[in-house]
Amino acid sequence: MGTQPGRSVTSKVLALLDAFSPATPALTLSELARRAELPLPTAHRRVAELVAWGALERGDDGRYRIGLRLWEVGSLAPRGLGLRELALPIMEDLYEVTHENVQLAVRQDLELVFIERIAGRRAVPVLTRVGGRFALHATGVGLVLLAYAPTEVQERVLAAPLERYTELTVTDPVRLRRRLAEVRRVGYAMSDRQVTMDALSIAAPIRAPEGVVAAISLVVAHDRADPVALAPLVQAAGRVLSRALGTYRQPTGRVPLRSRHERQ
């Protein structure tokens, strides 16, 4: 095993936690040690401490899983906590109007993180989960977050290889740069079969004093999507959330989508 000498206790613990993924949510002690590049006795000690604290749980099958205590701590992340509380009533309203998937995401470096979602019962299946990460260049929320990201972030994304999810995914940096400019011009993004061939998403920015901090989107079946009708709904939801964050003023002549709390 290619263990690394001189690693701190903290780095070893983080490596153990980082061993888990959506594809591998349950691991044996040996698998944890191998993935974290730790000797088995060291992994055993650190895992025992994580179990005692509640960060990991050991199932009847002997495999370890992320514990509820770690989820409790993670839910306190300030970028997600207040925004999720503000967004949920508005997301619920958007769902009631459309009965489609509603998603909320923030950017973390060169990726996006989904911090909330409402899945439509008869809506198109999506490849997302709360807490899951995704590339910025393909999804509706990702295009919004990238379009309003600092120039340095945009250039790093454009300079790196862009993953192709479908035959329609835009992977040419020149075309992607034009798409980002269009997002800023019209105020929303449309991702049409860029991630799966059966889905289309419409996303809009959510603004705070420091700029665009999140994006909200609808994900619908491509064959029944009406972007002209959906875009104003998503933009209105973004404006309501932006106003709730205290930074946005409704343009004259537009009727906002009001949250359930505002209607009461």
- How many Cβ atoms from other residues are within 10 Å of residue 82's Cβ? 11
Per-residue model confidence as pLDDT tens digits over 205-229: 999 888 999 999 999 998 888 888 9
Q: Is the pLDDT of residue 188 over 90?
A: yes
Q: Is the pLDDT of residue 259 over 90?
A: no
φ, ψ at 129 (rounded to 5°): -150, 155
**Pick from 245, 232, 254: which is nearest to 94 by CA?**
232
Q: Is the pLDDT of residue 132 over 80?
A: yes
Q: What average pLDDT is seen over the chain?
A: 86
Tell me the residue ranges of DSSP E strands in 17-145: 56-58, 64-66, 101-108, 111-118, 133-135
**Pick from 94, 129, 126, 125: which is nearest to 115 by CA?**
129
For the chain, the first-to-last Cα distance in angstroms comes to 62
pTM score, whole prediction: 0.69
| Beta-strand relationship, 211-221 and 199-208 | antiparallel
Report residue 76's pLDDT band, with 50, 70 and 90 as the boundaries.
low
Q: Is the pLDDT of residue 230 over 60?
A: yes
For residue 250, the model assigns a pLDDT of 44
Q: Is the pLDDT of residue 14 over 50?
A: yes
Q: Which structure tokens are listed for 7? A: 């690693």
Gap between the Cα atoms of 157 and 147, Å rounded:
11
Q: Which structure tokens are listed for 2? A: 């290619």
Gap between the Cα atoms of 107 and 241, Å rounded:
17
Q: Is the pLDDT of residue 256 over 50?
A: no
214-244 burial: b if 16+ Cβ within 10 Å, else e: bbbbbbbbeeebeeeebbebbbbbbbbbbbb
For residue 81, the model assigns a pLDDT of 53
Q: Which structure tokens are listed for 48? A: 């025992």
Gap between the Cα atoms of 195 and 198, Å rounded:
9
- Ranking 30-44, 95-109, 117-131, 166-180 by mean pLDDT, the lowest is 117-131
Position 221: which residue type?
A: A
Report residue 24's pLDDT band, with 50, 70 and 90 as the boundaries.
confident
Q: Is the pLDDT of residue 33 over 90?
A: yes
Cβ atoms of residues 53 and 69 within 8 Å:
yes
Structural domains of the chain in order of their starting residue, each with its CATH number = 9-73 (1.10.10.10), 78-247 (3.30.450.40)
